[in-house]
Amino acid sequence: MRERQLEGKDSEIRRIEMEEVENAKVKGKEFRGFRLELLDVTKLALLRPDGHPGAYMNPFPFANGVPKYILTGFQIRFNDFPYICLIKAKIEILKIIYEKPCDYSNGKWVRDKRGPLYNGTTCAMIKESQNCIINGRNDTSYLYWRWKPSDCHLPRFEPNIFLQLTKNRHVAFVGDSLARNQIESLLCMLATVSTPKRVHHKGSNKWHFSSQNASLSFYWSPFLVQGVQRSSTGPPHNIIHLDLVNEKWAKEVDQMDLLVLSFGNWLLVPSVYYEGDKVIGCLNCTGLNYTDIGFYGPFRKALRTTLNSIIERIQGKGNDIHVIVRTFSPSHFEGDWDKGGTCSKTKPYRKGKMQLGEVDAEIRKIEMEEVENFAMSRAKQLRGFRLEALDVTELALLRPDGHPGAYMNPFPFANGVPENVQNDCVHWCLPGPIDTWNDIFLEMVKRWS
């Protein structure tokens, strides 16, 4: 008996599936941890005509004799249109799997009637100086915008999904007050579905979500490396050791699963830089006999020391860690920050209407270069290590309306307009534009998971 041959549309469908999988395999070689194979059952299924339910798709079809017509499944042969739809759907699934992730940094702010997930009265984690509505800010229009990437869709934050993906994991934010600003935003959104419990932990602020055994923590380390901040009672400049990571957080790297790094602002003020026991230069150190070497080189060295230290501490230990470098967030002072500068805008800038300043652009450039260099060289050598940038610079630049401004203090104009009003044009109101950083953060976690 001649073996039945595959032909027509069945043969064409299988051919397309085989081709697309092979093409995806080639593309998938660019991505660590990606594997794709085909479960080819077409020919073995072809040779088993006896294995279908046939008339017995229904109970006892011949109990009352043999009917004139027996329904044995789909009686209408598919036409070309459903076949084309099926093939396109499979191709789209493959695209989702192996195409490069969306560039969330490129887009514009558009109006959104939904507003935020939480508010100043429902979240207890908001720092008073960022609780703008409670502090008397009347214009709430800044709450009704969402970031729309140019080439893809950015979903609204789903607290339950984040908690599911971080089940039994430790998510750590390390850095400056903007790192704290972001984790407080994240905690507020998660608290809409599960109440976090504050946990006593020496060296960090820590919260635990018992529903998924997920932990979030914040480590204060404004330089990432070792250093002493300038103060009114001490030296008027920072002391920064560019070659030594801050052990306050680094000693616990092996207990972290996701690590978000955030720094920059504290390195922009007068500083003296050390490597080993020697001073290698300074920034704006009037009165000291040191060479002013600027800011960019030390900033790069601090980030490089940090990333090298993380790699050295996990190397050979077998634990996975995903590291994110959050790019620089521009401030919006109109005037000098320490000389009465304000930020009173009430709407976002339109795309293209505001250009990134030279310093902010160079900081972001350094961050992106270091992440790319480490990801291409060191990261590929280490199983379980992944490095990526959370690029918020452009979307933050376009939101001058999202800062506390004068409402960093409660009701600053209750007794009229004072001559001098302190403004915060660095941090972000909660809720506010910074919530979008966590929308993107969740999409990164989804991809990694």
| Residues labelled as active-site residues | 177, 424, 427
The Cα 255–Cα 266 span in angstroms is 27
Contacts of 424 (CB under 8 A, 6+ apart): 129, 130, 403, 404, 405, 408
Half-sphere exposure of 48 (CA within 13 A, CB side): 8
Is-cis flag, bond preceding 196, omega within 30?
no
344, 403 contact by CB (below 8 A): no
Q: Give one word for 204, left, alpha or beta, with left for phi > 0 and alpha for psi -120 to 50.
A: beta
Angle separating helix axes 8-28 and 80-98, nearest 10 degrees: 10
| DSSP secondary structure string for all residues of 136-188 | T----GGGSEEEEESSS--PPP-HHHHHHHTTT-EEEEEESHHHHHHHHHHHH
**CA-CA distance, 428 to 79, in Å (whole number)?**
56
Nearest to 431 by CA among 126, 109, 113: 126
